[in-house]
Structure 1
């Protein structure tokens, strides 16, 4: 039988000696009373862009769903399995979050795959290719921009993907209804894993700007 990864056991021991000791009462309260996060983060699976680390969040503060390239599909109640849509439904209708943040990041592997036009397949099922096909129309336009470097095209599509996902959130009827009532806010963000810079999407223009740090 394979042994459990030693680095995970070491991390667990560090958690018990550190975070758990410091926040034991908070964690027990969350267990007894349930979670009440005000913000949902839709982020990428990439191990270098963990929302809890980036936003220095404590247990119970963020409701996080992660998928390849932080994509939000359009609302599609077709009876199929939709894990991201299920998480959105629970966050909004079950937990009553007041903010949803779609956070992309630099050097995203899923975005790189989308720009390649599906040339590289990791498996016959090609789940990644099918998932990233949501970006196919805009990926083709960005990929054909000959005046841009490969790095510029990568960053551009990472940010365009965030904008598209924010727009897709509005196709969920209950999300759009709460946004129009002013009870739910949608946000876009992009994190540079090289410099740790956070860029925020402007609601009016769709451009990404650096927030002012006090």
Structure 2
């Protein structure tokens, strides 16, 4: 591979700073993680958005969360068709191998992926309708959510669709047989969350009301 280049100098400097401070002060813990393997209590499915800092929001340490990130924090329906499914593989590994006790789906405000879905489904982003668009085909997962919010006033649709991205993902998680089995046996719980980036707020989904409430 001739196109790869050395790491940028600012990242090299940050690494050395981390190695001399955080790692040095917790070296025994890192050795334990390496020797004993990971035992995360929860899986977090969040958006790729660089503004969503999952470990900071919950004050998590290394080894505590098994984190999977994708565009708009979506989980596709269960579909074992022999193709490559990164999110489905991560869910399978978390539930069947790591035996996590919780799966958190974390959405957020001002989500670009959700806005893309909104534009595509409302006919304002024909480029996303192309079969060659990876983003567009990924956002097809959220079309059922769009159908639930399309009659809302236009100024309310994006916020509502961001939360539908969480709900649709929770619904799709339950189509995975191994997820449904663990949930029904009480060994796994699913949680829907939405993060207001600007205000630092987190809301959780309440099935009894069908809505979100600040925690």
What TM-score do the two structures reach when normalised by structure 1? 0.91
Distance between the aligned counterparts of 1:25 and 1:158, measured in 2? 41
Give deviations 1:52-109, integer Å, cap 9, x for gaps. Answer: 1211211100000000000000011111100000000000000000000000011111
> Paired residue for 2:101, among 98, 102, 119?
98
Distance between the aligned counterparts of 1:202 and 1:11, measured in 2? 41
1:156 maps to 2:160: yes
Q: 1:115, 1:140 within 8 Å by CA — same for their partners in 2?
A: no
* Structure 1 residue 17: Cα displacement: 2.4
1:208 maps to 2:199: no
Q: Secondary structure at the match of 1:175?
A: helix
Q: Give the corresponding residue for 2:115.
A: 112
> Paired residue for 1:81, among 80, 84, 87?
84
* Structure 1 residue 138: Cα displacement: 2.7
Q: 2:131, 2:137 within 8 Å by CA — same for their partners in 1?
A: no
Equivalent runs, 1:1-214 vs 2, <5 Å = 2-117=5-120, 119=125, 121=127, 125-145=132-152, 147-149=153-155, 152-211=156-215
Distance between the aligned counterparts of 1:178 and 1:141, measured in 2? 29
* Structure 1 residue 155: Cα displacement: 1.0
Which has the larger displacement, 105-114 or 13-22? 13-22
Question: What 5-or-longer segments of structure 1 have no aligned partner?
Answer: none
**Change over 3 Å in CA distance of 1:114–1:29 after alignment to 2:** same
Q: 1:44, 1:104 within 8 Å by CA — same for their partners in 2?
A: yes
Question: What 5-or-longer segments of structure 2 have no aligned partner?
Answer: none
Q: Secondary structure at the match of 2:11?
A: helix
Q: Count how many residue pairs are aligned between Structure 1 and Structure 2.
A: 208
* Structure 1 residue 121: Cα displacement: 3.5
Q: Secondary structure at the match of 1:132?
A: helix
**Change over 3 Å in CA distance of 1:7–1:196 after alignment to 2:** farther
* Structure 1 residue 143: Cα displacement: 3.8
Distance between the aligned counterparts of 1:79 and 1:88, measured in 2? 16
